[in-house]
Structure 1
Amino acid sequence: MSTRRFLLHLIGGFLFTGSLLPALAQPVQLQLVSENLPPLNYEENGVAQGYTVEVVHALMKQAGLNTPIQFFPWARAYQQALNQPNTLIFSIVRNPEREDLFEWIGPVSPRLIYVYKLKSRSDIVVRSLADCSRYRIGAVREMASTKAFVRDAAVPEAQMELAPSVESNFRKFLMGRADLIISQDWSAAFMMKALERSPDELEPVLLLEQNAQYYLALNKQSDPALLLKLRQAFDKVQQSGQMEKLRNKYMR
């Protein structure tokens, strides 16, 4: 090869490599998905709000990221986080069925799940899971609490009044389309107030869960460097005392 051809070949190689650098240097694009689950995470007038939303905002700031939160019905948000790399979902229950499906960051919040009825419904008597099978039960589709209830109570699917969101679940319940409703305690109180009803109208008849906690969860096929950055940022937010202040703000 002549000196001239060699130089042209070398220059061409540099140009080709240089053309790839912008694509290779592009940062990983994180996606944040959530659902309306007040007071943890919800959207009001197009603005993301809630306890976990504020935790995530602090996490993004600590990690040097600026990522908007997208709100979807729970089933859609869950499927996106399950199938799309570099997608973070919250607030999500960490349980044995999901353990190997995600990379977990947290915990961010405790969780108490009850079966409720309206106090005015004196005709409804529930002392055990077995009693629930006599009634129509409102629950949110694809939620961990819904799946656990169906599994443990052995309630026929036809008796479940499934909804895409917590709000629609409560609306249907208050319209009389369900006799019982499955909900977190603080979420139940929040939704009753939001729908201009009193939380005192509700009566918890059965405690379903008290040991699980809510987490942030990252798609299993995500960039390992992104996972490390998020975990380190979460640790710093937790150590700063911000989470305890937010708990006091939203849950007491």
Structure 2
Amino acid sequence: MLTENLPPLNYQENGVAQGYTTELVQAVLKQADVQADIQFMPWVRAYQQALSQPNTLIFSVTRTPERETQFEWIGPVSPRLIYLYKLRSRNDIVVKTLADCTRYRIGAVREMASTKAFAKEAGLTEAQMELAPSVESNFRKFLLGRADLVISQDWSAAFMMKSLQRKPDELEPVLLLEQSHQYFLALNKQSDPALVQKLKQAFEKVQQSGLPEKLRNKYMR
């Protein structure tokens, strides 16, 4: 079970796995009677490992057409709203269209679906963006002024600002970039078919148990 620090979906606090999807995954494992450790690592490494190693699951993953045939999908586990943010105090930044973004330095996480989609839509190369290995480092660089704008999920942005001792209302969303995809659990395509079926059935039972709504209340409200 591989993941990254993407709060409040999945993250570590004092070495303990936390988050909405993390607890959902733990409940699925328990329901399926499957033993597995959750490992946190940079997204690029986790993604490549999940692609190459059978019986490996990665979360939380955006299900896109490009990735559709690469994994066995379990979910969805959460909606996904991606915004482009600026600091409310930056009156010098004016963004009304994607074309306006080319005038500014954009902070984003390397290899994330939202990063790739934005770069393609805006006609930017990765060299023109301020890329970071994780959500936390992306926000740290943004708050230090190394990026003018930052790409983030709405609830992740609020969570990161609080965790970095800043107020969420210091952020101002300037563009809604994405609302058509959702987050899923993704299992390596060469995984044991019996394991895939067991996890899918366990996920359905956990969904019916009411746990997802309890976790949404805990982490996202």
Judge same fold: TM > 0.5, yes or no. yes
Pairwise CA distance, 1:244: 1.4
User: SS of the residue aligned with 1:100?
Assistant: helix
**Which amino acid is the alignment partner of residue 41 of structure 1?**
N
Which residue of the other structure, out of 113, 119, 125, is the alignment partner of 1:156? 125
SS at match of 2:68: coil
Q: How does 1:36-51 map to 2 (within 5 A)?
A: 36-51=5-20
Deviation above 4 Å: which 4+ runs of structure 1? none
CA distance in 2, matches of 1:67, 1:101: 22
> Structure 2: which 5+ residue stretches go unaligned?
none
In the TM superposition, residue 188 of structure 1 has moved relative to its aligned partner by: 0.2
Displacement of 1:251 in angstroms is 1.3
How far apart are the structure 2 equivalents of 1:186 and 1:62? Answer: 28
- Letter of the 2:74 partner, please give it: I
Matching residue within 158, 169, 174 for 1:200: 169
Per the alignment, residue 142 of structure 1 pairs with 111
TM-score relative to the length of structure 1 = 0.87
> Which of 124, 139, 142 is matched with 1:170 structurally?
139
Deviations 1:23-51 (Å, cap 9, x if unpaired)? xxxxxxxxx00000000000111100000
Question: Which residue of 2 is the match for residue 107 of structure 1?
Answer: 76
Amino acid at match of 2:72: E
Aligned to 1:128: 97
Partner amino acid, structure 2, of 1:38: P
| Percentage identity across paired residues of the two chains | 78
| Pairs within 5 Å for 1:206-221 | 206-221=175-190
Q: How many angstroms does 1:229 deviate by?
A: 0.5
Alignment correspondent of 2:217: 248
Separation in 1 of the partners of 2:42 and 2:126? 20
Whole-angstrom CA distance in 2 between matches of 1:136 and 1:38: 24
Greater C-alpha Rg: 1
Asked if 1:56 corresponds to 2:25, the answer is yes
- Report Cα offsets for 1:172-204 as digits up to 9, x if no partner: 000000000000000000000000000111000
Partner of 1:74: 43
* Whole-angstrom CA distance in 1 between matches of 2:33 and 2:127: 48
- Secondary structure (helix, strand or coil) at the match of 1:133 reads helix
Query: Do residues 95 (structure 1) and 64 (structure 2) align?
Result: yes
Q: Any unmatched runs of 5+ in structure 1?
A: 1-31
Matches of 1:175 and 1:240 in 2, distance apart? 43
Q: Does 1:236 align with 2:205?
A: yes
Q: Is the 1:135–1:159 Cα contact (8 Å) retained in structure 2?
A: no
Q: 1:164: Cα distance to partner?
A: 0.3
- Code of the aligned partner of 1:224: P
Map Cα deviations across residues 127-184 of structure 1 (whole Å, 9 max, x no partner): 0001000000000000000000001110133320000000000000000000000000
Counterpart-to-counterpart distance in 2, 1:122 and 1:59: 46
The Cα shift of 1:210 comes to 0.9
Letter in 2 for 1:64: D
Name the amino acid aligned to 1:135: Y
Instruction: Provide TM-score, normalisation by structure 2.
Output: 0.99
Backbone CA RMSD of aligned residues:
0.7
